Structure 1
Amino acid sequence: MKPARLTLALVALAVSLLAVPAFAERNMVPTLDRSFEVCPDRPAEPNWMQEIPLRQAYQRVLVQDIYRAQNLERIIETESCDCEIRFPSWDAAEAEFHEQHASDERWIMLEASDAYNQRANDVRLEAKAICETAGNW
């Protein structure tokens, strides 16, 4: 094969290989449907959390962090990973947010988020073991 033809063939091959991922990405359609393999009937986040303006998203994240920490701790306290234990209503997390953090400044909420994440991470492996035994992880 002549050098010019070889170069042309290599360029064509490279272009075709680069186009494959782009083609595959175009065919991926994101979905907003909530479907879970474990505990599919999880309660949805409260509407007010979903409607928080982007500039205040740290409030939503804080409530999510409270929810996660509470739920992992509850799994260990009860030694149960039933779906109602692992994914209860959002009431307790909302109440804790409103009672302890709703009037805090942004930076205080961010620090609180870190603290709740640390609490959750401290018990995660123990909760995971309980949930794996129950088939709910």
Structure 2
Amino acid sequence: MRQAGCTLVLTALVLGLTSAPGFAERNLVPTLERSFDVCPERPAEPVWMQEIPLRQAYQRVLVQDIYRAQNLERIVETGSCACEIRFPSWDDAEGAFREHHASDERWEMLQASDAYNRRANDVRLAAKAICEAAGNW
């Protein structure tokens, strides 16, 4: 009888410990809404970028890389990390893509992405220092 009672208590304990995380996980609801601590009023990506087919995602990535490089360079050039400098509209990046890369082959766009990433990385630390001083990093 004593052994049955211990088994019952042990079973209840194991069930209680294993079911609690599952219950907690069920309460986590993923969301597609993006929220930011810094500059929460960021402009949305152009609709065509959000709706681009998966096989052409490299085009979206290229525009994102152009946007990042332009913005980090702009921060360093102006010495300002105001939200409208750090996260302007997508017009300039989209224009640069359409003017210089829209007719490129996939491999050319991948090379261009790499070049924009190098440009962004070259100024990233300087931009970060400016933005940290402004409380916008």
Query: TM class, shorter-chain normalised?
Result: 0.7 to 0.9
Provide closer, same or farther for how the CA distance between residues 136 and 16 of structure 1 changes in structure 2, counting only shifts above 3 A: same
Matches of 1:20 and 1:107 in 2, distance apart?
49
**TM (normalized to structure 1)?**
0.85
Please report the RMSD computed on the Cα atoms of aligned residues, expressed in angstroms. Answer: 2.3
Please give the per-residue CA displacement for 1:61-86, whole angstroms capped at 9, x wherever unaligned: 11001000100000000000001100
Q: 1:27 Cα deviation (Å)? A: 2.0
Larger radius of gyration: 2
Matched residues, number = 136
Mapped to 1, the partners of 2:117 and 2:15 lie a distance apart of: 45
Structure 1 CA distance for aligned equivalents of residues 103 and 118 of structure 2: 22
* Number of the residue aligned with 1:97: 97
**CA shift at 1:20, angstroms?**
4.4
Instruction: Look up the equivalent residue of 2:48 and give its one-letter code.
Output: W
Structure 2 regions of 5+ residues with no counterpart?
none
Deviation, structure 1 residue 56: 0.6
- How many angstroms does 1:110 deviate by? 1.2
Sort the Cα spacing of 1:22 and 1:123 in 2 relative to 1 into closer, same or farther, 3 A.
Answer: farther
Percentage of pairs with the same residue: 76
Relative distance call for 1:120 and 1:13 in structure 2 (3 A) is: farther
Deviations 1:72-110 (A, max 9, x none): 000000000001100001011001101111111111111
Q: Which residue of 2 aligns with 1:36?
A: 36
TM-score, length basis structure 2: 0.85
The residue that corresponds to 1:60 in the other structure is 60
